[in-house]
Amino acid sequence: MTFTPEQLQDAAKQHLWMHFTRMSTYNNADVPVIVRGSGPYVYDDKGKRYLDGLAGLFVSMVGHGRTELAEAAAKQASELAYFPLWSYAHPTAVELAARLAELAPGDLNKVFFTTSGSEAVESAWKLAKAYFKRIGEPTRYKVLSREYAYHGTSMGALAVTGLSSIKHDFEPLPAGGIRVPNTNIYRAPDFAADWSEEQFGVWAADEIERAILREDAESVAAVYLEPVQNSGGCFTPPAGYFQRVREICDKYGVLLVSDEVICAFGRLGYYFGSTRYNYQPDIITFAKGVTSGYSPLGGMIVRDQLMEPFQTGTATFLHGITFAGHPVSAAVALANLDIFEGDNLLGNVRANEDGFRAALDKLSDLPIVGNIRGAGYFYGIELVKDKATKETFDDDESERLLRGFLSHALFEAGLVCRADDRGDPVIQLAPPLICTQEHFDEIEQILRSVLTEAWSRV
C-alpha cells in the first residue's frame, strides 16, 4: 500500500507519536514528511529541498543516498540477517570490534555493542558498577556529569543527563546522578568573569574534584563528559581541561567516560573527540555516526583492564540487548568506515572547518547573535536580547521566538537545524562531513535572513 500525501498526513496525525514533539503543533499544520536524501540535502513529500544542517540528528556523516551502504546491508541481510551476540559471534561484529579497537586511543580494545546511544551510556554505568564490585570497591556507584549535558533518555541514561527540564516527568530516577559545571565560558559565573580560558578550565575541572570529595570519593564510579558538550550549544573544552580531569580521575580511582555519541566518527575531524583533545578515556560511548544512520548501532569501547574481572572463572557481565551488534548494522558500519577512508572525510573536516567557522562568524554583525562556538563541523549560535549585556530571552520570549517562529521559519527557508532552548537559546549545526564551502555559505545566508526577521519580531 502506498499512501498519497494527504493519506500520509492523516495517518501521521492519527497514529505516529513523534519523539520530543509537541504534538499539538500539528493539529492545524502539516507534519513535515521527509521522503529521500542525496548528499547533504533531503527532500520532502512535495519535492522541496532542504540542506540537512544537522545530519539528521548528528548522524548522517557520509550524507544521504550512499548506495554502497544500502548494498552492504542487503548483502549481509541475505547472508545472515540476524544472530545474537549472546554466546555467539558473527563475522561483521568481530571485524567491526577489531577495527574500532584499532581506531580507538590507547588500550581501549574491548567493544560491547548496543543499538543506541542511551543504551551505550547506560551500559557504561552498569559496567562501572559491576567492575568496582568485582575488584573489591563495591561502594562506588555514583556518576558525575555536567549541567545541561544530554546523555540519553532511558531511565539510567536520563539519570546521567544534566537537563532537569526533561527529567521531572519521570522521577524518581535511579540514584547517583550528580551535576558539575559545564565549560560554558560565555556564561561564566561573575567571579570568573575576568579569567582566561585556561583558568576557567582549571576551575571547571577542579569542580569535579570538589564534587568527588563532597560525595565521598569511595562512592563515585565514573564521570561522563562529551568532548564538546552538545546541549546548551557546543561548549568546547578549555585547553588543559581534560588533562586536569584525567589527573583527578586517576587520583580518586574514578572512571572517565567520554560520551562520544555525537563527537566520534569525524564530527570533530577525528575518529574520536578524545583524540582531538588528547586525553585517554577509560570508556568511549558511541552510536549515531558509526553507521551514518543507514542502520542503528551503538556501543562502548573499554580499556582492557575493565574486562579483566569478567575473564576468569564463572564471572559474567550480566547484560545484553537482542539487537546489539546486529549483523546488518555491523556490515553497514564497516562499509561506512570504508567511505571515511576512501573519501578522506576526516581530512575534509580538518581542511574545511575554518571555512565553516568563518562563514558562521559573519553572522556576528547581527544584533541577535551573542556567541558562536564549536569545533570541527559542530557549532552552536547563542541568541541574545542584548549583545553588550548578554541578556537572554525570558521564557515567554523564548517560546515565541524559538518555537513560535525560528524552528518553522528556518525549515521553511530550506535549512534543517535545531533551535533549542533547553539551556539558553541556541541554534545548533552539525552538517554531514561531505559539506564544503558552498554549503556553509548557504547555511550562512539562510540564517542571516531568518535571524534578521526574528530580530524584527523581538
Ligand X SMILES: Cc1ncc(COP(=O)(O)O)c(C=O)c1O
Determine, following the binding rule CB under 6 A, whether residue 152 of this chain makes contact with ligand X.
Answer: yes
Q: Which of the stretches 110-118, 307-315, 361-369, 419-427 binds ligand X when contact is defined by CB under 6 A?
A: 110-118
142: β partners: 220
The answer to whether 143 touches 236, Cβ cutoff 8 Å, is: no
Q: Which three cell numbers stand for residue 319?
A: 547484560
Long-range CB contacts for residues 210-216, cutoff 8 Å, separation at least 24: 211/144, 211/178, 211/179, 211/180, 212/144, 212/248, 212/252, 212/254, 215/142, 215/144, 215/178
Max Cα–Cα distance, the chain, nearest Å: 69
Determine, following the binding rule CB under 6 A, whether residue 118 of this chain makes contact with ligand X.
Answer: yes
Q: Would you say 230 or 398 has its CB closer to ligand X?
A: 230
CA–centroid distance for 198 within its chain? 25
Q: Would you say 128 or 368 has its CB closer to ligand X?
A: 128
Q: What's the closest the beta carbon of residue 120 comes to ligand X, in angstroms?
A: 7
Residues that bind ligand X (rule: CB under 6 A) add up to a total of 14
Q: Would you say 261 or 337 has its CB closer to ligand X?
A: 261
Determine, following the binding rule CB under 6 A, whether residue 52 of this chain makes contact with ligand X.
Answer: no
Q: What's the closest the beta carbon of residue 161 comes to ligand X, in angstroms?
A: 8
Q: What's the closest the beta carbon of residue 226 comes to ligand X, in angstroms?
A: 5
Q: Would you say 117 or 237 has its CB closer to ligand X?
A: 117
Q: What's the closest the beta carbon of residue 274 comes to ligand X, in angstroms?
A: 13
Determine, following the binding rule CB under 6 A, whether residue 431 of this chain makes contact with ligand X.
Answer: no
Q: Which of the stretches 149-157, 234-242, 313-321, 431-439 binds ligand X when contact is defined by CB under 6 A?
A: 149-157
Determine, following the binding rule CB under 6 A, whether residue 429 of this chain makes contact with ligand X.
Answer: no
Please select the residue that binds ligand X; options are 66, 110, 146, 151, rule is CB under 6 A: 151
Write down the residue that cell numbers 535572513 correspond to. Answer: 449
Which burial class, exposed, middle or buried, applies to 165 when counting CB atoms under 10 A from its CB (0-12, 13-18, 19+)? exposed
Q: What's the closest the beta carbon of residue 117 comes to ligand X, in angstroms?
A: 2
Q: Which of the stretches 45-53, 165-173, 258-266, 410-418 binds ligand X when contact is defined by CB under 6 A?
A: 258-266
Determine, following the binding rule CB under 6 A, whether residue 380 of this chain makes contact with ligand X.
Answer: no
**Residue 228: CA atoms inside 13 Å, Cβ hemisphere, count?**
29
Nearest residue relative to ligand X (C-beta): 117
Q: What's the closest the beta carbon of residue 300 comes to ligand X, in angstroms?
A: 11
299: β partners: 113, 286
Determine, following the binding rule CB under 6 A, whether residue 116 of this chain makes contact with ligand X.
Answer: yes
Please select the residue that binds ligand X; options are 40, 117, 181, 238, rule is CB under 6 A: 117
d(CA 397, CA 183): 26
Q: Which of the stretches 254-262, 275-283, 355-363, 444-452 binds ligand X when contact is defined by CB under 6 A?
A: 254-262
Q: Would you say 183 or 393 has its CB closer to ligand X?
A: 183
Determine, following the binding rule CB under 6 A, whether residue 226 of this chain makes contact with ligand X.
Answer: yes
3-state SS, 24-71, equals HHHCCCCCCCEEEEEECEEEECCCCEEEECCHHHHCCCCCECCHHHHH
Q: Which of the stretches 147-155, 193-201, 204-212, 312-320 binds ligand X when contact is defined by CB under 6 A?
A: 147-155
Q: Which of the stretches 90-98, 146-154, 232-240, 344-352 binds ligand X when contact is defined by CB under 6 A?
A: 146-154
Q: What's the closest the beta carbon of residue 236 comes to ligand X, in angstroms?
A: 15
> What is the phi/psi pair of residue 226, to 5°?
-85, 145
Please select the residue that binds ligand X; options are 248, 261, 284, 321, rule is CB under 6 A: 261
Q: Would you say 290 or 368 has its CB closer to ligand X?
A: 290
Contacts of 44 (CB under 8 A, 6+ apart): 32, 33, 34, 35, 50
End-to-end CA distance of the chain: 47
Q: Which of the stretches 145-153, 167-175, 365-373, 378-386 binds ligand X when contact is defined by CB under 6 A?
A: 145-153
Determine, following the binding rule CB under 6 A, whether residue 371 of this chain makes contact with ligand X.
Answer: no
d(CA 54, CA 66): 17
Q: Would you say 92 or 161 has its CB closer to ligand X?
A: 161
Amino acid identity, position 176 = G
Q: Would you say 131 or 378 has its CB closer to ligand X?
A: 378
Determine, following the binding rule CB under 6 A, whether residue 121 of this chain makes contact with ligand X.
Answer: yes
Q: Would you say 370 or 423 has its CB closer to ligand X?
A: 423
Please select the residue that binds ligand X; options are 287, 328, 335, 443, rule is CB under 6 A: 287
Residues near ligand X, by CB under 6 A: 116-118, 121, 150-152, 226, 230, 259, 261-262, 287, 298
